[in-house]
């Protein structure tokens, strides 16, 4: 085998081993998190509830939209939706508004070392051309603050999602169980 071919094989093998070790570490981290008191990790396996909100806005298909019911004393609520960009241009979810909350922020949760951290994404959430972005529990999500009346299962929460290029779309997100999904 020629020297360039051996180098290519070595590089490919290194990438494969690295990718496998990252996948194993991620799985271990998720398993470790699920054992921590108060942390129930569902990662991206959460499924949208029956009757979830959906809409089309230009090249964007929104589906599976919902919010979770709020537990007594819970000061904030979480909302979720899947966005598929079927177009050839990138877009960005830049804001969310709701008449049922004084403020709605776009947030990201992710592991940093052994700590789960959440932060507001002030620049919004990128929706690359041809890609699907899921806002789901324990990852990207909408954070409803200054909620006027706690979200109750069976109700709906009106929202307006505004995208940088596609514009705005209104959805009525069904409220699901605080425990499920």
Range of lowest pLDDT (25-34, 102-111, 118-127):
25-34
For 35, the domain range is 1-41
At residue 53, does pLDDT exceed 70? Answer: yes
The total of other beta-carbon atoms located within 10 Å of residue 10's CB is 10
* pTM value > 0.95: no
Q: Give the model confidence (pLDDT) of 121-143 as tens digits.
A: 999 999 999 999 999 999 999 99
At residue 20, does pLDDT exceed 90? Answer: no
CATH number for 126:
2.60.40.1890
- Domains held by the chain: number: 2
At residue 163, does pLDDT exceed 70? Answer: yes
How many angstroms separate the CA atoms of 83 and 135, rounded? 8
How many angstroms separate the CA atoms of 37 and 53, rounded? 32
Asked whether residue 93 is domain-assigned, the answer is yes
């Amino acid at each position: 085998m020629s020297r360039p071919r051996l180098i290519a094989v070595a590089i490919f093998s290194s990438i494969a081993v690295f990718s496998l070790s990252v996948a194993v570490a991620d799985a271990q981290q998720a398993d470790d998190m699920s054992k921590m008191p108060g942390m129930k990790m569902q990662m991206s396996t959460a499924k949208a509830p029956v009757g979830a909100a959906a809409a089309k806005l230009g090249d964007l298909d929104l589906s599976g939209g919902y919010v979770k019911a709020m537990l007594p004393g819970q000061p904030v609520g979480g909302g979720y939706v899947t966005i598929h960009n079927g177009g050839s241009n990138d877009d960005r979810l830049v804001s969310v508004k709701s008449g049922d909350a004084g403020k709605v922020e776009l947030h990201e949760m992710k592991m940093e070392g052994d700590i789960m951290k959440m932060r507001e994404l002030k620049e919004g959430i990128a929706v690359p051309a041809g890609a699907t972005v899921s806002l789901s529990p324990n990852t990207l999500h909408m954070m409803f603050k200054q909620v006027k009346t706690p979200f109750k299962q069976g109700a709906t929460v009106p929202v307006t999602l505004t995208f940088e290029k596609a514009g705005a779309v209104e959805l009525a997100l069904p409220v699901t169980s605080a425990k499920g999904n």
